[in-house]
A and B are shown apart, each in its own frame.
Chain A
């Protein structure tokens, strides 16, 4: 069976983009199933390699889909994968942001804004918790996270890359 890979990429990832709530990791298993079992774009091993690559490179982990597209159909595939996974949900988000901004300065806007802040806080800490649990964090991991948060809160001048790079180096050398 021959299928146009570009359209197949859209057909797989556009629906997934709307199923993703929270981090991209919620649709990871579905991505793997579609790319490996259903469409045979990659072998299991290749998928794991691309996953590792998306984690090792900087930037959001969700660019895994860009890399899958690239593997399937070169540059056009990479573009298609990126547009498919980010595009539709981004358009929806853009519409919401536009409406949201239009009422800036009104009373009810600032009330809604203020009421959403605790949700942002709760979600952030829940996210931190989820990341630490998924990576089976040790006491050292928690310690590094606490020191990093403390240093960054203490001074706005400290560059995050300095702390992230230092922590990575410590782990690589002594870990």
Chain B
């Protein structure tokens, strides 16, 4: 695996800080177990992005965001697909199994351990209201990831149009994601290809 072939033609921003050394498997497992225990109200991808990319630099922004797009386009529950992707990137086959298992560990334990009695608690109006607030804040957490992708996309009109179309077609026109995302991905890739061509022509050393 050519991990870090330095390529001057990379169409990504050069402002990203360097990556941290690869973490140990148990460090990764423990981080995801903690995220599992803390992530009230959803916003899973936002948690992963903040902890893995922004705070620990275990993965780069482009690596994470492109994996996120793949995890959504592929069939399956995307929160779990993303965990498989992160696990695979950090620790190969074992990582791909350990990361989703670690994340699910505490939530399942909490839900089962508290059992039937907890169902009553879960219907309590206070709990409902708490979760409503938590979910709203979690939406804010998720959107930080969107803003990062937005910033990457403002560098080129083609990329920006791809982002806008993805949003409008799915959120406003309510077209199925499975049909929209591959098309806008093609558009994005075409735009990225043009950027590379431009850099080359300039002889970007």
Contacts and interface: CB of A to CB of B under 8 A. Distances in A.
Interface residues of B, number: 118
Contacts of A140: 136
Contacts of B121: 56
Nearest to B146: A124
Q: Interface of chain B, helix or strand or loop or mixed?
A: helix
Contacts, number: 388
Nearest to A98: B88
A113 interface: yes
B65 A116 contact: yes
Q: Interface of chain A, helix or strand or loop or mixed?
A: helix
A150 B138 CA distance: 12
B31 interface: no
A107 B148 CA distance: 22
16 contacts: A21-B75, A59-B44, A85-B77, A93-B76, A97-B84, A105-B3, A111-B192, A115-B162, A116-B66, A117-B69, A124-B143, A129-B171, A135-B132, A145-B143, A164-B134, A168-B137
Interface of B: 1-5, 7, 9-12, 36-47, 50, 54-55, 62-63, 65-81, 84-85, 88-89, 93, 96, 100, 103-104, 106-108, 110-112, 114, 116, 118-119, 121-123, 126-127, 129-150, 152-153, 159-160, 162-167, 170-171, 176-178, 181, 184-193, 195-196
Interface of A: 17-24, 49-50, 52-63, 66-67, 70, 78, 82, 85-86, 88-90, 92-94, 96-98, 100-102, 104-107, 110-132, 135, 137, 140-142, 144-153, 156, 160-161, 163-172, 175
